[in-house]
Structure 1
Amino acid sequence: MHDLATPTVSSARAWQWTPLVRKSLTVLHAICGIGWMGVDIAVFALLMTARTTDDPALVASSFDAIRIIVPLAVPALSLGMLATGVLLGLGTRWGLIRYWWVLVKLLMALVMVVLVFVSLVPTVSSISVPVPTAASADELRARLGPLPDMLLFPPIVSFLMLGIATILSIFKPWRHTPWSRKPASASGNEVRAV
């Protein structure tokens, strides 16, 4: 059986994930982010349908779908994205606070996860869609108050933040943070593998 982490030759890092573990975590990280973006697109499409249709049954079913999808999918995807990102940071040369692009991604992920649990899930879970009896689509939307407008922001904002995180991952801008330890080879104290 292979170890999940292997020692490195640098004293700056005691260990790193094996290539298989690193790649597996990277795949899971990408799946969680892409899945979350997919939920954002679906929620946005449902919201736009509910805001523009003249069919009261479609208004009600769109909000019911949002009420079902978001609490099931978004918390799991957000926690999965955060957990795999932290594990990747801990077990790779990038670290969690060594590079600005990683630190910015971590802070964005923390803000997004907190907003999911503090604001989005409670709001979506409390949606009470009136049964479309003789009411028109406009009357149903009026009964929901500002909720249809308020719910437009989470999928747009999280989609954009996830897009920015993707760009940061690909281009890796900026240099080391002030909290980054210099590589051992820069100070001349290189550890040699025996």
Structure 2
Amino acid sequence: MNYPAWGTVMGQPFGVIAYCNTGFTFDRNKIHEYQTYWPKEETGLARDVYIGFKYQCVEYARRFLTLNFKAAFQDVPHAHHIWALDTIEDCTKEEGTFPFINFPNGSQEPPKFGDLIIYPYSKEQRFGHVGVIINVNLEEKFVDIGEQNYEEAGWECPEYARRLIMKIENGQYFITNQRIGKPYDNWDIKEEIFGWKRINFNQNK
């Protein structure tokens, strides 16, 4: 199967480009070319921001939050470690953070735009995974995900990477890994989801 080349644009919802990570070959001599830093002099933010390693899932998630909310979570070893973070940096100030709240799958609080969807470590995803919830439809019960480095085939369409079925039972919200419009026999059939993670802008520290 012909997959998109590394660096191919997969989509650009809400002004944030998602790039393909298929076919990446690590060259230690080029490590500084893979890492992305945004100096405050170029962004207008109050602090420098380390965006991440091209074009990993964590890099996309941090870049999305920085561009849309001017907040960036700290550097983490792997994607699943984001779930353990209690705060996220307020990039409009030299110092200061916001609470970074977890909503485990099955919470009574529905997901919303800008929440991060977090996957744990698994056999298929050895570093876990993180994506961004870019659309929530409570009536039709689905969420759209923006992400990088989830699978080689890339995005389903330019508007979103995957459209996932959401179940609502007894006032609880469950995001499944089943995709609308596709037979559920993909490699990720048994992948679990920690839940969604949200910035609490009402409490600045």
Tell me the TM-score range normalised by the shorter chain. under 0.3
Q: TM-score, normalised by structure 1?
A: 0.25
Q: Whose RCO is larger (CA < 8 A, sep 6+)?
A: 1
Q: Counting helix residues as a fraction of each chain, which structure ranks higher?
A: 1
Q: TM-score, normalised by structure 2?
A: 0.24
